[in-house]
Amino acid sequence: MTSVTSLFSPSVDVVLPCLDEASALPWVLGRIPAGWRAIVVDNGSRDGSAELARSLGATVVEEPRRGFGAACHAGLLAATADLVCFLDCDGSLDPAQLPRVTGPVTGGTADLVLGRRRPVSVGAWPAHARLANAVLARRLRARTGAPLHDLGPMRAARRERLLALGLGDRRSGYPLEMVLAASAAGMRITETPVDYLPRSGRSKVTGTVRGTRQAVRDMRAVLAAPPPTLLVIAKAPVPGRVKTRLTPPCTPEQAAALAEAALTDTLETLSAVPAGRRLLVLDGAPGSWLPPGWQVVPQAGGGLDERLAAAFAHAARLAPDAPALLVGMDTPQLTAQALAEPLAAAHRAGVDAWYGPAADGGFWALGLARPTERLAARLLLGVPMSDPGTGTALLGRLAEQGLTVSQLPQLTDVDTVRDAHEVAAAAPGSRFAARLRSIALTPEVTG
């Protein structure tokens, strides 16, 4: 039997974080645009908000973890529509004005749009809350360059772009983290005016000086976390110089074409991860496959261990206070979310390093929370590379340095044709998979 959920495919999902908002719910839900789905995320209400929302036709998600960010993110995870909106559930913002916010996204002129609140009455926006918002907005403009004057809770973006940001804050810092991460991921951000009405009931945050102070503290913690430096180490995809283990059965030209596709997929994926800098540590010359926003750094001389250590040293010189994470070019199945989530500021606490194991015993990623030239040398110099024991040796070095390691998912490097088919199956929509299909090699042939 077909489920009700599968029959209903909303054009837009509207996430409504909710804590004791029964008095406002009928008006709010009654003004959701036709054909859009309201997702009410109940954050522990005791006034029957969840039951009322269900009776009014909303999809209700229960989020037991207290916190505005926890409720917002639970709604984002529950959303299925391509376009997602966020809106307070207290009646202070009119859902009928949501198309003003979604318009620039659907029109292709912006990737994240915030509603700039315009109070319709004197008491709609308390002075202390407005002042705190103005101070944070000024800092945000200086940090991102985005023309924002309000961190308004009415906002819209594509669901997949938001998930790729890996947002980690679950308190009042979530709205700010979304904007900072979106900017660091290259998303275009703008705002549009919306009416700000007196809310129904008392605000849990801006309605009190104490709540506003807590929100400011949460947001300052988000502002204090520098975005990471991302590095990709690669060879230019030149026939005869890359993926030589694929030849035969591949020709050198086919192997280079697969290498180019893998590198392009990797760079595109990391372009969607929030970062302060993106460095391509390259052996060779860049080509048309290089996306915008990447700085090309020539690889140092010596063995791979020396080149990796030099890459971290370079990142440390550029941004000594920022984490640095290095990825190889052989994992086109990597997703932005898989890297963005562990690198989010809220998930960095207590983490000294990130380690991505490869299925062949090596590693596909290594990150350092506080990179220095000396630490990189201690960790990498002398480690045997391209060896089944590479990963074990590196993990031993990390342990010797007393570093707390966060494990990333295990991935398969593309070394053989069988590897190539495994990776293509994991990422069927990638350039790499399309290029492999065009070559039409069979997985039974191993390189």
Residues 254-298 pLDDT 10s: 999 999 999 999 999 999 999 999 999 999 999 999 999 999 999
Binning pLDDT at 50, 70 and 90, where does residue 424 land?
very high
pLDDT value, residue 212 = 63
Mark 239-248 as b/e (b = at least 16 C-beta within 10 Å): beebbeebbe
| Beta-strand relationship, 59-62 and 83-86 | unpaired
Binning pLDDT at 50, 70 and 90, where does residue 6 land?
very low
Residue 148 three-state SS: coil
Confirm whether 244 is domain-assigned: yes
Number of domains, the chain: 2
Residue-wise pLDDT for 301-332, tens only, equals 999 999 999 999 999 999 999 999 999 998 99
Average pLDDT of 68-89?
97
Looking at the structure, do residues 192 and 281 belong to the same domain, yes or no?
no
- Give the span between the Cα atoms of 106 and 95, in whole angstroms: 17
CATH of the domain at 79: 3.90.550.10
DSSP per-residue codes, 363-431:
EEEEEESS--HHHHHHHHTTPPPSSTTHHHHHHHHHHHTT--EEEPPPB----SHHHHHHHHHH-TTSH
Confirm whether 273 is domain-assigned: yes
Looking at the structure, do residues 370 and 387 belong to the same domain, yes or no?
yes
Beta strands in 36-107 (DSSP E): 37-42, 59-62, 83-86
Confirm whether 2 is domain-assigned: no
pLDDT value, residue 210 = 64
DSSP 8-state assignment for residue 35: T
- The HSE-up count of residue 84 (CA atoms within 13 Å, CB side) is 22
CA-based R_g, the chain, Å: 24
Q: Examine the pLDDT at 42 and tell me if it is beyond 90.
A: yes
Looking at the structure, do residues 214 and 357 belong to the same domain, yes or no?
no
CA–centroid distance for 199 within its chain = 32
Q: Examine the pLDDT at 52 and tell me if it is beyond 70.
A: yes
Looking at the structure, do residues 237 and 218 belong to the same domain, yes or no?
no
Looking at the structure, do residues 375 and 237 belong to the same domain, yes or no?
yes
The size of the chain, in residues, is 447
Looking at the structure, do residues 197 and 238 belong to the same domain, yes or no?
no
φ and ψ of 169, to 5 deg: -70, 140
Which of these three, 180, 198, 224, is where a domain ends?
224
Looking at the structure, do residues 158 and 197 belong to the same domain, yes or no?
yes
Mark 342-372 as b/e (b = at least 16 C-beta within 10 Å): bbbbbebeebbbbbbbbebebbbbbbbbebe
409's tokens: 């998912």
Residue-wise pLDDT for 188-214, tens only, equals 999 999 999 987 655 555 555 566 666
Looking at the structure, do residues 197 and 275 belong to the same domain, yes or no?
no
- Give the span between the Cα atoms of 346 and 171, in whole angstroms: 10
Average pLDDT of 20-33?
97
Residue 39 makes CB contacts below 8 A (sequence gap 6+) with: 13, 14, 15, 16, 58, 59, 60, 61, 75, 78, 79
- Give the span between the Cα atoms of 232 and 330, in whole angstroms: 10
- Give the span between the Cα atoms of 1 and 4, in whole angstroms: 9
Which of these three, 224, 250, 265, is where a domain ends?
224
φ and ψ of 368, to 5 deg: -130, 125
Looking at the structure, do residues 197 and 48 belong to the same domain, yes or no?
yes
Which of these three, 224, 248, 275, is where a domain ends?
224
Looking at the structure, do residues 71 and 124 belong to the same domain, yes or no?
yes
φ and ψ of 326, to 5 deg: -110, 135
Average pLDDT of 411-438?
94
Residue 181 three-state SS: helix
Q: Which residue has the tokens 């074990």?
A: 392
pLDDT value, residue 204 = 56
Q: Are 369 and 340 spatial neighbours (Cβ–Cβ below 8 Å)?
A: no
Confirm whether 267 is domain-assigned: yes
Looking at the structure, do residues 17 and 40 belong to the same domain, yes or no?
yes
Residue 134 makes CB contacts below 8 A (sequence gap 6+) with: 149
Confirm whether 444 is domain-assigned: no
CA-wise closest residue to 369 among 352, 356, 346:
352
Confirm whether 240 is domain-assigned: yes
pLDDT value, residue 128 = 73
Confirm whether 4 is domain-assigned: no
CA-to-CA separations, 151 to 33, 111, 175, 197, in angstroms, rounded: 23, 16, 7, 16
Q: Are 174 and 73 spatial neighbours (Cβ–Cβ below 8 Å)?
A: yes
Domain residues for the domain of 173 are 11-224
Confirm whether 447 is domain-assigned: no
Burial of residue 292 (CB within 10 Å: 0-12, 13-18, 19+) is exposed
What is the percent of the chain with per-residue pLDDT over 70, rounded to a whole number?
Answer: 93
CA-wise closest residue to 422 among 262, 264, 251, 271:
262
Looking at the structure, do residues 260 and 151 belong to the same domain, yes or no?
no
- Give the span between the Cα atoms of 295 and 231, in whole angstroms: 10
